Amino acid sequence: MDSPSSLAIVIMAAGKGTRLKSQRPKVLHEIGGKTLLSHVIAAASQIVAPADIYAVVGHQADKVKAAVAATGIRFVEQLEQRGTGHAIECAREAIAGYENVVVLSGDAPLVKARTVAALFAFHQAQKAAMTLTSAEPDEPTGYGRVLHPSLGSIEVVGIIEQKMLARDQLSLREVNMGLYAFRTAPLLAHLDKLTADNPHGELYLTDMAHILHAAGERVVAFKVPDPSELLGANTMAEMMALDDALRTASAHRLMAAGVTIFRPETCVIDAEVEVAADTVIEPFVQLLGSTRIGAACRIRSYSVIENCTLADNVLVRQSCVLTGSSIAAGASIGPFAHMRPGCEIGEEVHIGNFVETKKAILHKGVKAGHLSYLGDAEIGANTNIGAGVITCNYDGVRKHTTSIGSDAFIGSDSTLVAPVTIGDEAYIGAGSAITKDVPPGSLAVARAHQVNKEGWVEARRARTRKQAEVGKPV
Ligand code: UD1
Ligand code: MG
């Protein structure tokens, strides 16, 4: 392959995506948990440096730029979207210094780096001015069709868009997949010859095939056996089909690595999720973002785990929502636990049903079995949190932290009003409202003393009976 500086990659991403009927620009729709454009950028970045990738942006350009700015790619503005040929005209200055340019579509997110590399190698070997990628999908309708000078030739004389097809051309099966390599000099020398003489009144990049051929330049087709990775997301149905393809691929990637996934078609697994062997994923689980799961874990149905790290042997029972947190080996979570960002859950911790945690550090062996809120809290090893314990972390203005030592026992239904510190091995009586620090090894009880009034029920009955006899209201 050429040295990187002689190759630029242009990603056409300025279109509105009219057929999606959405307010959001097409390339910012998500499949497999990532925007269409970031999928394409990820593939392009494996071929050239980000500084040699140019995204043509137009419709809601600022939003599109902001969404992918962190990748370090460059942008070219296409203020008015006058077609794919016009998109490349707008990139003229950006690409002029490169020997070759590869053009990708921002709406074809399954494209693989190795396909782009293979196209470029073919383009170089063929010494072509333009190489387009073609395939014969089961359903060619909607795509541009590729015209050869004779049967079996790889040379191309033109591409005809669906709406321009003559009756006898409707049966043409070989379609343009929208992925091209050009030698920059002939491309720019003849780009001005594009006209908007077509049903959409647009400048079609596809017309360059005919223009270059007519100018005596070599135009060839790089035929791929499997068109699926070049499929576009032009309609919502196409978009969801691509999403399904990506997630199915994710599930198969994990299964090949030794993960058991029951009913994988019901699971939503993002492309970057990693899971180690012998972990079992039950039906209807979602594993999202940068989630990493260790070996021999079990993730039970209906749990949604996003941007979390789970070590080995973790059990997540049904219907847990876990976000932005880490869970150490041997912990068991749920059912129905809600873990908000910033939690660090230690080894063999048990978090039971209806326990909400946020920015909580639970050291080894902590148990919080039922109905608690633990927020902005650090809890020492082996401490037991009774049912219904609440850390009151918010005073209406600011958040405060609760610090609990190790081997402590927090009685059920206690409220710990932060900021407050409870020492090692301290006991809190059930139902206490703790507002002051509790020294290590002590018992704190902060509730009204219990009063038993013996015979009170009988005395009350006698009193009401008497009042009824004298006709007073009872
Ligand atoms: C295009 C090809 C068609 C091919 C198909 C493969 C043309 C004229 N047709 O059709 O031969 O079979 O891809 O998927 O190129 N864009 C811009 N600026 C514009 C217009 C479009 O940046 O002014 C971008 C779009 O955002 C999109 C890409 O270019 O990412 C392709 O445009 P789209 O309208 O989807 O073209 P297709 O109709 O799919
Ligand atoms: Mg398209």
Q: Quick one: DSSP state of residue 273?
A: -
416 CA distance to ligand 1 centroid (A)? 60
Average pLDDT, the chain: 95
Q: Is the pLDDT of residue 244 over 80?
A: yes
- Number of neighbouring beta carbons within 10 Å of residue 283: 14
Averaged pLDDT for residues 405-430:
98
Task: Report whether residue 106 contacts ligand 1, using a CB cutoff of 6 Å.
Answer: yes
Ligand 2 ion: Cβ-proximal residues, 5 Å cutoff = 107, 232, 234
Q: Is the pLDDT of residue 453 over 90?
A: yes
Q: Is the pLDDT of residue 270 over 80?
A: yes
- Are residue 315 and residue 171 in the same domain, yes or no? no
Identity of residue 36? L
- Write the CATH number for 243: 2.160.10.10
- Are residue 243 and residue 293 in the same domain, yes or no? yes
Active site residue 370: yes
Q: In the chain, pLDDT over 70 holds for what percent of residues?
A: 99
In a domain? residue 462: no
- Are residue 149 and residue 245 in the same domain, yes or no? no
DSSP string covering 419-462, please? SEEE-TT-EE-TT-EE-S-B-TT-EE--SPPP---TTHHHHHHH
- Are residue 301 and residue 177 in the same domain, yes or no? no
Q: Is the pLDDT of residue 73 over 90?
A: yes
Three-class SS state of 224: coil
Identity of residue 44? A
Three-class SS state of 162: helix
- Are residue 178 and residue 261 in the same domain, yes or no? no
Structural domain count, the chain: 2
In a domain? residue 186: yes
In a domain? residue 206: yes
Averaged pLDDT for residues 231-260:
93
From residue 179, alpha-carbon distances to 107, 244, 398 in Å are 11, 22, 54
Averaged pLDDT for residues 149-154:
94
In a domain? residue 298: yes
Nearest to 230 by CA among 129, 144, 171, 128: 144
Q: How far apart are the first and last CA of the chain?
A: 99
User: Which of 84, 159, 179, 234 to probe ligand 1 with, by most ligand atoms within 8 A of CB?
Assistant: 84
In a domain? residue 314: yes
Question: Which pLDDT score, from 0 to 100, does residue 108 have?
Answer: 93
With left for phi above 0 and alpha for psi between -120 and 50, is residue 32 left, alpha or beta?
left
CB 107 within 8 A of CB 43: no
Domain range for residue 153? 7-230
- Are residue 54 and residue 184 in the same domain, yes or no? yes
Domain boundary among 230, 264, 296: 230
In a domain? residue 452: no
In a domain? residue 407: yes
Rounded to 5 degrees, φ, ψ at 402 are -115, 130
Mention every residue, 6+ apart, whose C-beta is less than 8 A from residue 314.
293, 294, 297, 298, 327, 328, 329, 330, 331, 332, 333
- Are residue 208 and residue 339 in the same domain, yes or no? no
Q: Is the pLDDT of residue 2 over 80?
A: no
Q: Compute the Cα dihedral for 255, 259, 263, 269 and give only its sign.
A: negative
Domain boundary among 205, 230, 255: 230
- Are residue 394 and residue 269 in the same domain, yes or no? yes
Question: Which pLDDT score, from 0 to 100, does residue 1 have?
Answer: 44
- Are residue 14 and residue 143 in the same domain, yes or no? yes
178 CA distance to ligand 1 centroid (A)? 7
User: pLDDT per residue over 185-212, tens digit each?
Assistant: 999 999 999 999 998 999 999 999 999 9
User: pLDDT per residue over 11-43, tens digit each?
Assistant: 999 988 889 999 999 999 999 889 999 999 999
From residue 257, alpha-carbon distances to 276, 277, 426 in Å are 7, 6, 47
In a domain? residue 112: yes
Q: Quick one: DSSP state of residue 262?
A: S
Q: Is the pLDDT of residue 472 over 90?
A: no
Task: Report whether residue 177 contacts ligand 1, using a CB cutoff of 6 Å.
Answer: yes
User: pLDDT per residue over 174-183, tens digit each?
Assistant: 999 999 999 9
Ligand nearest to the backbone CA of 206: 1
- Are residue 158 and residue 100 in the same domain, yes or no? yes
Q: How many residues does the chain have?
A: 474
Question: Which pLDDT score, from 0 to 100, does residue 4 have?
Answer: 40
- Answer whether the bond into residue 225 is a cis peptide, omega within 30°: no
- Are residue 243 and residue 219 in the same domain, yes or no? no
Q: Is the pLDDT of residue 216 over 50?
A: yes
- Write the CATH number for 29: 3.90.550.10
Q: Is the pLDDT of residue 405 over 90?
A: yes
| pLDDT band, very low/low/confident/very high, at 3 (cuts 50, 70, 90) | very low
Domain boundary among 174, 206, 230: 230
Ligand nearest to the backbone CA of 105: 1
CB 172 within 8 A of CB 135: no
Averaged pLDDT for residues 64-68:
97
Considering only CA atoms, which residue is closest to atom 8 of ligand 1?
Answer: 204
Residue 444 corresponds to which tokens in the numbers above?
A: 């704190």
- Are residue 53 and residue 202 in the same domain, yes or no? yes
Question: Which pLDDT score, from 0 to 100, does residue 474 have?
Answer: 58
Mention every residue, 6+ apart, whose C-beta is less than 8 A from residue 55.
10, 11, 13, 37, 41, 64, 65, 68, 73, 74, 75, 76, 106
User: Which of 11, 12, 77, 207 to probe ligand 1 with, by most ligand atoms within 8 A of CB?
Assistant: 12
